[in-house]
Structure 1
């Protein structure tokens, strides 16, 4: 249930705990990563082949821990705001559901990985979109954004892109870090991270973090606790392994999506969401020889959500009854890959994967009388894949991947071709053709009122062409990209048949421009501009939260050895959004300016003051949800 006008969502609203919305964007302090030399073991690279060269993978956009710290974000949405090709809208404060889109795709067209573990949940009414409030930005070491349809690597859901989050690990440079923060709107939190080498055999890393409150001005409630642990072998042997654990739980209270928010909602009770996310993963990598490598990966994850929606009073559109629901989803992933270096210019990888999913939802809908709407579903997917990298010339490189995924209901084959050509010592051109698929969500297939077990997988095709250049001995880095994404067989709600069907087709095409300039030792600048045009093949249907134009500029200034400043301005033009009180309307564009200052009186101690929305722009990102307003956050971190 995605690319719909709000009118066509009305029937679905009666049955969902959280109606679906769609997106918009800006830009970030991140960097374009085209240097893949010295790839660390277990690092997600968007390919099955261990990437030890600087030529094989399509460039991606990377945000480092240092860049995240400079932004001093209170939410993961703050981290992604401003990344080229990403539209992101916050509904209320940190605890509100965030709309995320990559190059025009729906939020559930993006695979989210935490330390390589897929965390998309197909039992929720959002079709599998991940709740970005689950992850604390302070625990993140790096974020990689991969563009295009990557189902040849990640299977289902990777229609528009992949966002890979890597948490902080053991570091030889420090034993640990402790930090605390307080905000002007009653928000406070902190984190502790320590790492230690165990008898020169393994590296242990443990992180704990808490946050209470968000940065909004209208009383949203939010709290979250996280514990993350990693035990990894030393990277100096033919065999390497890693054990990982991630746990987060929390509670959020906000106005329901499409309710009209704090400005328009008639029912003033908040929607209460309790959530928990548990991931356990084990990875082994073994080199039989210089040319043969084996990878074994296993992961288990569990998502639990308890939602109490007070309902939405009728407005221009029909209202939504009160709904209470409890959902549980478990996923087991196993995979094995063998790669063989045929020669210095050719590598091939063969592998197989198995996924088992178990999900259920128990819900009560209040139609004036309680109506149960429960479902349970299991799904197993068996996959085989092959990938080859060829370097026919020193300056020309190809990567070709094919994957076949099989369930009892569906067989899907996808392919991807990447090519890179070194135009000169300063410029590289990259091209990609990729295919993706998304198995129907458990909610769309099994819900007792609107579920349709005959739904086909949603499909995608992506074309991408990028030129990366370096000028002035590397002080100026640029990227220019053009792309076209086509999404077909999209799951849509048919109000006449009162069920979900496959029928829509959406095309998203656009251009992205990015540059990063190191003006001198003190000043660095970066900026991006995105034009994204999205069309649907049905007359009268308008897509929500997709501004055609967005841009951002980030500046970092090192005033003295101890004092630095970071500023980021993001902006976008007008876009459509809807709510029950108003129906579909056009919202004006907005801009958002954040500033932060960091003072390091010693090498291990840092104070940071962060001012969010310093211009106090009062434009709404979602209909009726007033801007969160200006806020200040003071943090203190200590390395030891």
Structure 2
């Protein structure tokens, strides 16, 4: 009996033990291992940091980093978390949210921000997330507070050193962005990894609304090694916001202002287990301040993600815009608005898979597409008709340039039927791009990362003018990238890489790139002077020509002419090919006053060669090509014939005066010189009223500055933030620029041409933004642009908006984090 009772008792204990072991195993199966490494902005590990795992605002678990900066703990699987890290001399830093699964857990590395100036992370400069402190390239990161309540992306870009935005008129007028004196179509623009450039590099910034844009990165130098064609002068990367809150977050904002302006914007975003979602729509309407200049833009942005586990992220993004704008032309030069308009219907989309095969090995595959539909319509002949000349003239005007020269008369506005013109007429340019991008990068050791990438693009496009056959092209482009990045002793940082572009039009081209950053003194919040950083970079860029320029190739035109081969040889004309660039820059960055201030001084030297230049009909006639011998001759031709260099320096300063007030500003000097210009060589122009002054009617003269590139530009911003109040005062300062009025007088002469030098006047645009939180859910805000109502033109003859005021309210509902009991 005793034996039996002993066996029975042992069986009960065994059963209890088995149950406990089984429960333990089941619990382990339902738990996730969360680990990571904490480093400072220079990559040095942070030991003794406190780690908190947060489920919403509730602390689930705590840990501490060891001597190698590592931490780890277990947590219930199947939940979404964030990690908060605190340590002496650093700002409290919170990671992005992540979904933890029992199988793979999660690896969450955290880069801590200093208590001085926030260290942002860039992807654009290196192809993988890298703190800007470790980058030798010139890159600026803007986040949503930098462009709060500003409807257009081009507005915050005005407050970036080395960047100049030029708009032909008011909202809806063509807007281009020049980086360090480069042409406005020489920048690669990415929206969630999708190239937004039309075939040949053009991007219409007037149509890019800020709705849904979470951050903007601006790389102020070529990076064709990573991004291939069009990254000739710089790269601009726009990223769509993601949903981050367990409960859906709804926002709605509405405002109105002068010039019959109103804007509405709404969004919804959130997370559900391992899914996140975000959708936003905004619409802007205005009539502007001059006749026939209405503009509206409706934009939708979406970002949807699925994380089956912590090592894989599937994501789909899309952006669609529908824009229509009247195009009054150079109203100050003709005195009459044109009866023309532009319509665009554009879509950008991508599907991507990010995979962390191991803690060291990362892969990415992205498929993306672009659909651009551009239509220009000149609905009716406009102007004062002269039956003897069969032309339409502008109103009598007197035009004075900022250089003091004045002309008076009537310019030819449009041409009649005898010149082959008919109304309405149109120009249509639809284009498509599909691409596949694959990247793999491997961390060989804590101080070395190797990256390789491949991209294939299929580009198709068409251009057609009224009365002419359509021109269609298709290009299949291949790009290859190899890159090494790393550091020595967490003090010297380098990036070395090269791209190989195999373009369907111009063939192979190599684009090497290198950057270095070295810290003479590490950043510190305890010294008057610290964080002394030397930086240097070199790069080559390449750009494919547009469909339109390819369709009006001067080489093809001459080859079809009798005796054309002799002219080709005489003028050294080549088939349309790539534009190229080479740039060097270097400088020093210094932190001051215990890290509360930062100053950066950079020198740059850019060479732009083989630029595609428009050759007007007058130059073709001067070459011996009769104007009517080829239908395309009346529209001019294009040839790789322009070369220019830009050199100068940039300064930027940031200063955190106190916890509420932050100031920043910058100044750029740009010395731009045209070294070669086919149009200037073959068709020099002179206004008989200004004898002895050579004028570039259609392009700048050799030895002169690039049109619309200001030698002196600057900006400043003063931001104030308090519990309920926010305010920002910013200014854009632009000096005088060279330009042309491009006018022909009523006698087909040059008496209305003004000298190019300093034709465009300097201007100072001040903007003021502010908001006040009435309640947790309701905020009042106002946006004032051109606060002093200064009359100026960014492009000669196109008046900018005077004082504009928009005021409205923003409503926010939901989005609160969940709580645990």
Indicate whether the TM-score tops 0.5: yes
SS in 1 for 2:159: coil
1:611–1:378 Cα change, 3 Å: same
Q: Using the alignment, how far apart are the partners of 1:468 and 1:234 within structure 2?
A: 39
Q: Does 1:556 align with 2:719?
A: yes
Q: 3-state SS of the aligned residue for 1:444? A: helix
**Aligned position for 1:68:** 147
> Where does residue 443 of structure 2 map in the other structure?
341
2:190 maps to 113
Q: Does 1:162 align with 2:219?
A: no
Normalising by structure 1, we get a TM-score of 0.86
1:410 aligns with 2:507: yes
Q: Relative to total residues, which structure has the larger helix share, 1 or 2?
A: 2
Supply the distance in 2 between the matched residues of 1:169 and 1:446 (Cα, whole angstroms): 41
Deviation at 1:511, TM superposition (A): 0.6
Contact 2:440 2:452 in 1 (8 A): yes
> For residues 482-529 of structure 1, what are the alpha-carbon distances to aligned partners after superposition, in whole Å with 9 as ceiling and x for unaligned?
111101111123433653222221101111111111112332211111
Matches for 1:416-495 after TM superposition, within 5 Å: 416-425=513-522, 426-447=531-552, 454-494=575-615, 495=619
In structure 2, the residue matched to 1:9 is: none
C-alpha deviation, 1:214, in angstroms: 5.4
Q: Which residue of 2 aligns with 1:504?
A: 642
Q: RMSD of the TM alignment (CA)?
A: 2.6
Following the alignment from structure 2 to structure 1, what is the Cα–Cα distance between the partners of residues 652 and 133? 20
Task: Report Cα offsets for 1:102-161 as digits up to 9, x if no partner.
Answer: 110111101111111111112xxxx53211122212322111100111100110010100
How far off is 1:195 after superposition? 0.9
Structure 1 distance, partners of 2:170, 2:287, is 6
In 1: Cα distance, 2:169 partner to 2:785 partner:
14
Compare CA radii of gyration and give the structure with the larger one: 2
Give the corresponding residue for 2:760: 587
Q: Verify the 8 A CA contact 1:63 1:144 in the aligned structure 2.
A: yes
> Structure 1 residues 158 and 318, CA, compared in 2 at 3 Å: closer, same or farther?
farther
Corresponding residue for 1:138? 211
* Cα distance in 2, alignment partners of residues 342 and 522 from structure 1: 43
Q: How far apart are 1:291 and its partner, in Å?
A: 1.9
Verify the 8 A CA contact 1:79 1:137 in the aligned structure 2. no
2:787 is the alignment partner of 1:618: no
Distance in 2 of aligned mates of 1:79 and 1:303: 24
Give the deviation of 1:388 after TM superposition.
0.6
1:69-88: per-residue Cα shift (whole Å, max 9, x none)? 0xx32432222223211111
Corresponding position of 1:31: none
Match of 1:82 in 2: 159
- C-alpha change, 1:39 and 1:92, in structure 2 (3 Å) is farther
1:317 positional shift: 7.9
* In structure 2, distance between residues paired with 1:128 and 1:319: 29
Question: What is aligned with 2:486?
Answer: 390
Query: Relative to structure 2, which stretch is displaced further, 271-280 or 165-174?
Result: 165-174
Separation in 1 of the partners of 2:151 and 2:787? 15
Distance 1:231 1:522 in 2: 35
Report 1:223-622 matches (<5 A): 223-234=296-307, 237-256=310-329, 261-265=330-334, 268-309=337-378, 321=415, 323-364=425-466, 371-408=467-504, 409-425=506-522, 426-447=531-552, 454-494=575-615, 495-496=619-620, 499-538=637-676, 540-541=701-702, 542=704, 543-558=706-721, 561-581=723-743, 582-584=752-754, 585=756, 586-622=759-795
Q: Classify the secondary structure of the residue corresponding to 2:178.
A: strand
Scaled by the length of structure 2, the TM-score of the pair is 0.68
Aligned residues: 588
Q: Distance in 2 between matches of 1:448 and 1:533?
A: 30
Change (3 A) 1:429 1:206: same
Q: How many angstroms does 1:347 deviate by?
A: 1.4
Deviation at 1:390, TM superposition (A): 3.1
* Structure 2 CA distance for partners of 1:451 and 1:625, relative to 1, 3 Å: farther
Which structure 2 segments of 5+ residues have no match? 1-40, 44-108, 113-120, 383-391, 394-408, 416-420, 523-530, 558-573, 624-635, 681-700, 744-751, 814-821
Kindly tell me: are residues 235 and 551 of structure 1, through their superposed partners in 2, closer, same or farther at Cα, counting changes over 3 Å? Answer: farther
Tell whether the 8 Å contact from 1:51 to 1:57 is kept in structure 2 after alignment. no
What is the Cα deviation at residue 621 of structure 1? 2.0
Q: Give the number of the structure whose residues are more often strand, by fraction.
A: 1
Residues 1:547 and 1:407: Cα distance change in structure 2 (over 3 Å)? closer
Q: Which of these residues, 126, 138, 144, is aligned with residue 47 of structure 1?
A: 126
